[in-house]
Structure 1
Amino acid sequence: YRPFICYGVTHFVLPIITDIVFDKLVGFTKYRSGTMEYWYSWAPEGENPKLQPTVFCHGLGVGLLPYIPFVRDIRRAFPDRDIFCIEVPHVAMRPYPNLPSAREMSVVVADMLTAWGYSQAHMIGHSFGTFVVRWMLAHEPSRIASMSLVDPVCFLLVKNDLLLNTQRKAHEDPIGILATYLVFRELYTAHTLTRNLFWEQNNVWPEELRGVPTHVSLCGRDFIIPAHSVRRLLEAEAAARLEIARDGQLNKFRRQQQPLKSRERIQVGGDSGSRSSLDAKIRPNPTGSVVPRPAHEVAVGDAGADGPACGGGVYCR
């Protein structure tokens, strides 16, 4: 239950404040792509061609307003890159019952990039925003140049930690109590997490990140996700990548050495010297096994009732 005044603040007052701050103070302009609204800030044009832009997806809470310092830091760190900030209203404590599907969200983000002349972008997601990055990875992988996942909730969804900590657990610390009442159990946020969160669509397996440069930032005392388990999972993936790289280098070395050994064993030529060299290398057979025989020599062996015990092409001792 939430009184009407709460939704009056989160649906009317806070969006107006966000619009004023992003427009007047941060220098962004609001646009729409399909069903999605986003803020866009373009870098000043210089002599160099435009670099790949940054796309930021916010998490649970009240939308983009708390992320203004973070967005400013991105602008200062990368002044030569355009920045897109995507709004996800159904996790911003706003009455927004129409949720876009994962594929729809991926398509509108891809259309947004195309409209501004970009084919790829660096995706940044925080908390629930990492799901949006995961949707892009699943449905529009060619649009992702690199990724940054901050406090990701898209790992180990096979465990029950996410829904347990947001919908069931009674937190005792002040931050957990405040987040549970104001955010996690708000009607539309709870509807998103319990009725429209399909773990098989949102879970990221570490193997899926092997083709994409990815930075993952975890909070050691995260009370929503099992951060230590996620860290061990990613460390195991890093070790597996080293093993794969080492095996790849070893196989490459073996392939390079194979022709050299073959040339040492067999000398191809038409003169008798070449044939003698070939015979000398393959004729000794002290073990009694069957070995190749030079084609110009006759097989040696005991003859039985059915003829020679050895056919052409092998030595028998």
Structure 2
Amino acid sequence: MGLRQRFSRGVPAAMTSTKPARGSFEPPKPKTWDYYLLLALLVFPVRAIVYVAPVALVVLALDQWQWFHPTPLNPWVATPLMLYCFVEVVFTLYHHVSKTSLASPQASPPPLRKQFSHHTAPHVGLFERCMADIPDVKIFVEEWFYGTPLERLTRHDLRRWLAYVFYSDDVPTDCPKYDWTAIDAMVDQLYIRAGVREPLAGEGQLNSSNPCIRHTLDEFECAERPLIAYVVTMGMDVLAALVLAQLGFERHVVGTGCSYWYRGGSTPKMSAEDPSEDPVVFVHGIGAGLLMYIPMVLRMAAECRTRQLFLLELRYVSMQLEANVPSQDDTLGAISHMLAAHGVASAHWMGHSLGSVVCSWVCKDAPQWVSGLTLIDPVVFLLCRRDVAYNFLYREPTTGLQVIMWYFVSQELHIAHAIRRHFWWYNNILFPEELPRHCSTNEVAASIFLSSCDQIADTPAVHALLQRGVQANSPDEPHASIRVTMWEGLTHGESLLRPHYYSMALAALHT
């Protein structure tokens, strides 16, 4: 019996009733021994607390009323246990109510922000730009449809999918609100680029609906977890705060849901003439907050004694019971206030995993704030592909690492809310030509570090994309290379545990 049967309520909908059992491109994978080990030692015990607590509360109460034995459990033991079980039961109810309130898709998804000079319709320009990075269009489309062969996908399927891709809405294909002429032209291009003939009338149900990945509209799924799990992660946050305070950092709150830690340098940098002394802004990824990054921050603080350091917090993906997800505009507004408050014109930006999304926003919307960029395990490249959404939200875990990531990360209530209801790929994607440039040499001022066994992004494809560099727009414009490093054998986030690797990333702050 697999994880889907054991935890059917916690498995994403696309893994149960709304998607085919397996795509032709992905044969069934056997579960590894560490999958069963960690499932038994970590996932089962933690989740069992949710279901055991109400039963234990009733049993303890009946025991105190001497229903089972004339000599009940010592009240000094029973009372704290009953109190804990009662709190867990109340928290489970709170969790259920919160899940219900957070489950609805966004009524007004943000529009596509990027403009293309050669297209009046931004979504057409984005489509053509994405297609330039897709070597096999047939596989690209089939992956979004869970492996359904493109020959079986009708125009109705592709119109509905593209309408979601660019408008994040469950759009009827006859809705006059959207530019269906442009969407039909994109459908034609998909068939042509894939070398597949469009099904004709009489070759199937042309209005049939094949399921596809639509993570901001698909059923909201998260797994219950006990209050004690959040007590642990909140304790980790307190511990991180104590360490950062000892390092001289001060916490600041900007706006609603935005906060950061700041440590001033001995000689604050106010110009872009010496990038090796620029302030550093670090944005963490999904997990338990900044505690996981403390070893790297310790070394960063030691190596950058003269530089201003900012640690931007994303509490809504840090298991802190934070439901508010600031929009892109709110986040950029908070960053603007943060930099202005400390007299910073530009900085070297460093992001890990989901933190690369914030870095992507800054690079595109406020490039004047960026003197350099370092990304570790980024998720912003090739976001037009299904890899990040599928691997994080839909893939059935088969290894120990995957089952831990599934239950403790992707199925956490507020992380699921942030990704399933607030992750807009078309505004998060970063193209190589959007990376920052040195003001004097015009070289790409970015260093990208990838893990070859990344569980979320398709790093071989990203590595190949970045190795091509920034292509010249004209014969007179030189080709620009990108510094990209592939860490062989590492999984997503593993570099944070290995000083050798995060030291390589920190060295990029001085270039």
- Normalising by structure 1, we get a TM-score of 0.72
Task: Show the counterpart of 1:133.
Answer: 359
2:461 to 229, 249, 255: 229
Matched, 1:218 2:441: no
Task: Show the counterpart of 2:493.
Answer: none
1:42 to 261, 264, 277: 264
1:247 to 454, 476, 486: 476
- Deviation string 1:94-153 (CA, Å, 9 cap, x unpaired) is 221111001110111121011001111111000000001111123222111111111000
Residue aligned with 1:96, SS: coil
- Deviation string 1:190-218 (CA, Å, 9 cap, x unpaired) is 11111110110100111212645111110
Report the CA distance between 1:20 and its aligned residue.
1.0
Q: Is the 8 Å Cα contact of residues 267 and 307 (structure 2) preserved in structure 1?
A: no
Matched, 1:183 2:409: yes
Q: Is the 8 Å Cα contact of residues 43 and 82 (structure 1) preserved in structure 2?
A: yes
Once residues 190 and 32 of structure 1 are traced to their aligned partners in structure 2, the CA distance between those partners, rounded to angstroms, is 24
Residue aligned with 2:293, SS: helix
Question: Structure 1 pair 175/194, CA: closer, same or farther in 2 (3 Å)?
Answer: same
Once residues 206 and 160 of structure 1 are traced to their aligned partners in structure 2, the CA distance between those partners, rounded to angstroms, is 19
Residue aligned with 2:306, SS: coil
Task: Show the counterpart of 1:143.
Answer: 369
Task: Show the counterpart of 2:428.
Answer: 202
Residue aligned with 2:334, SS: helix
Residue aligned with 1:138, SS: helix
The alignment covers a number of residue pairs equal to 243
Q: Is the 8 Å Cα contact of residues 151 and 218 (structure 1) preserved in structure 2?
A: yes
Once residues 414 and 328 of structure 2 are traced to their aligned partners in structure 1, the CA distance between those partners, rounded to angstroms, is 17
Residue aligned with 2:457, SS: coil
Structure 1 unaligned runs (5+)? 250-317
Letter in 2 for 1:223: Q
2:253 to 24, 32, 37: 32
Letter in 1 for 2:412: E
Alignment of 1:69-218 (within 5 A): 69-209=295-435, 211=437, 213-218=445-450
Task: Show the counterpart of 2:239.
Answer: 17
Task: Show the counterpart of 1:269.
Answer: none
- Deviation string 1:239-275 (CA, Å, 9 cap, x unpaired) is x25x85x6347xxxxxxxxxxxxxxxxxxxxxxxxxx
Q: Is the 8 Å Cα contact of residues 284 and 314 (structure 2) preserved in structure 1?
A: yes
Q: Is the 8 Å Cα contact of residues 371 and 436 (structure 2) preserved in structure 1?
A: no
Q: Is the 8 Å Cα contact of residues 347 and 369 (structure 2) preserved in structure 1?
A: yes
Report the CA distance between 1:27 and its aligned residue.
2.4
Report the CA distance between 1:8 and its aligned residue.
2.5
Question: Structure 1 pair 146/7, CA: closer, same or farther in 2 (3 Å)?
Answer: same
Letter in 1 for 2:255: G
More strand by share: 1
Structure 2 unaligned runs (5+)? 1-223, 272-276, 438-443, 479-511
Q: Which runs of 4+ in 1 moved over 4 A?
A: none
Residue aligned with 2:417, SS: helix
Once residues 55 and 224 of structure 1 are traced to their aligned partners in structure 2, the CA distance between those partners, rounded to angstroms, is 24
Report the CA distance between 1:164 and its aligned residue.
1.0
Q: Is the 8 Å Cα contact of residues 370 and 436 (structure 2) preserved in structure 1?
A: no
2:283 to 39, 46, 57: 57
Residue aligned with 2:451, SS: coil
Residue aligned with 2:289, SS: coil
Residue aligned with 2:469, SS: helix
Once residues 210 and 192 of structure 1 are traced to their aligned partners in structure 2, the CA distance between those partners, rounded to angstroms, is 27
Q: Which has the larger radius of gyration?
A: 1
Q: Is the 8 Å Cα contact of residues 150 and 216 (structure 1) preserved in structure 2?
A: yes
Residue aligned with 1:247, SS: coil
What percentage of aligned pairs have identical amino acids? 32
Once residues 248 and 92 of structure 1 are traced to their aligned partners in structure 2, the CA distance between those partners, rounded to angstroms, is 43
Residue aligned with 2:259, SS: strand
Q: Is the 8 Å Cα contact of residues 270 and 344 (structure 2) preserved in structure 1?
A: no
Question: Structure 1 pair 210/37, CA: closer, same or farther in 2 (3 Å)?
Answer: closer
RMSD: 2.0
Task: Show the counterpart of 2:230.
Answer: 7
Residue aligned with 2:310, SS: strand
Once residues 300 and 242 of structure 2 are traced to their aligned partners in structure 1, the CA distance between those partners, rounded to angstroms, is 19
Once residues 446 and 333 of structure 2 are traced to their aligned partners in structure 1, the CA distance between those partners, rounded to angstroms, is 22
Report the CA distance between 1:45 and its aligned residue.
4.0
Letter in 2 for 1:40: Y
Report the CA distance between 1:78 and its aligned residue.
2.2
Higher relative contact order (CA 8 A, sep 6+): 2
Once residues 186 and 127 of structure 1 are traced to their aligned partners in structure 2, the CA distance between those partners, rounded to angstroms, is 17
- Deviation string 1:215-250 (CA, Å, 9 cap, x unpaired) is 111001101000000011112234x25x85x6347x
